[in-house]
């Protein structure tokens, strides 16, 4: 599975990625697909394990979809994991995959940071820089502010919440449901 990480231009619309926001897929894709998710949400875990790989294969790899993941943590553990993902920098999506795949290992761990540091090291990140990022309280504040902005500005009230070309879609969705929503978005734009 080929992953392409790109930076996209700034926009005030929720349907487009913000300045310096990492995304997967083609920046010029006709479908903008944004997920507000929590790393401890069952529906989000299911989406990342079962649906997103198919979306990547059928839509991102073909240039039809640009995907952005934004944090909307629903637990303290999810806030810590969100910080770990952000601290991964350019390896953000690889760390998200790692975190969603290994939730049972870090969710109730007494020392989550040591687990996150091990994951970062496996991804080739500098463990000292990563550890310093994890302990910076400003990063926790940033995640909490992202959640507040999502709620106040875009009406996000739970996870997963998706935006497909600006249209809000709430709750767990199968690949078939996502495919139908993509087809609807493409038909609106034609």
Residue 158 CB: number of other CB atoms within 10 A? 14
Looking at residue 57, the DSSP 8-state letter turns out to be I
Domain with 41, as residue range(s), is 5-189
The residue-averaged pLDDT of 139-147 equals: 96
Q: What is the pLDDT of residue 21?
A: 78
Lowest pLDDT segment from 6-20, 90-104, 134-148, 172-186 = 6-20
Lowest pLDDT segment from 13-17, 117-121, 178-182 = 13-17
Region of residue 25 (phi > 0: left; psi between -120 and 50: alpha; otherwise: beta): left
Identify the residue with better confidence: 70 or 10.
Answer: 70
- Write the DSSP assignment of 63-107 as a string of letters: TSEEEEEEE---SHHHHHHHHHHHHTGGGHHHHHHHHHHTHHHHT
Percent of the chain with pLDDT strictly greater than 70: 88
Q: Which residue has the tokens 């990063």?
A: 139
Number of domains in the chain: 1
Lowest pLDDT segment from 18-27, 31-40, 75-84, 93-102 = 18-27
What CATH number does the domain containing 136 carry?
Answer: 3.40.30.10
Supply the pTM of this predicted model. 0.88
Q: What is the pLDDT of residue 18?
A: 52
The residue-averaged pLDDT of 160-173 equals: 96
Q: How confident is the model at residue 119 (pLDDT cuts 50, 70, 90)?
A: very high
Percent of the chain with pLDDT strictly greater than 90: 84
C-alpha torsion angle, residues 176, 172, 95, 185 (rounded to 10): 50
Task: Please state, rounded to an integer, the average pLDDT across all residues of the chain.
Answer: 89
Q: How confident is the model at residue 188 (pLDDT cuts 50, 70, 90)?
A: confident
The residue-averaged pLDDT of 167-185 equals: 96
């Amino acid at each position: 599975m080929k992953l392409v990480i790109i930076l996209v231009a700034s926009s005030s619309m929720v349907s487009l990625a913000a300045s310096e926001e990492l995304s997967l897929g083609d920046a010029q894709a006709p479908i903008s697909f944004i997920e507000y998710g929590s790393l401890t949400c069952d529906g989000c875990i299911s989406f990342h394990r079962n649906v997103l790989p198919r979306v990547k294969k059928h839509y991102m790899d073909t240039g039809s979809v640009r995907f952005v993941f934004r944090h909307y943590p629903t637990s303290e553990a999810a806030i810590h994991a969100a910080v770990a993902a952000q601290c991964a920098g350019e390896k953000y999506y690889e760390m998200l995959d790692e975190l969603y795949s290994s939730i049972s290992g870090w969710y109730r761990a007494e020392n989550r940071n040591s687990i996150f540091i091990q994951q970062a090291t496996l991804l080739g990140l500098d463990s000292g820089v990563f550890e310093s990022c994890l302990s910076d309280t400003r990063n926790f504040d940033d995640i909490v502010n992202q959640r507040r902005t999502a709620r106040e500005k875009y009406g996000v009230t739970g996870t997963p919440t998706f935006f497909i070309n600006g249209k809000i879609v709430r709750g767990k969705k199968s690949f078939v449901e996502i495919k139908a929503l993509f087809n609807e978005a493409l038909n609106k734009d034609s």
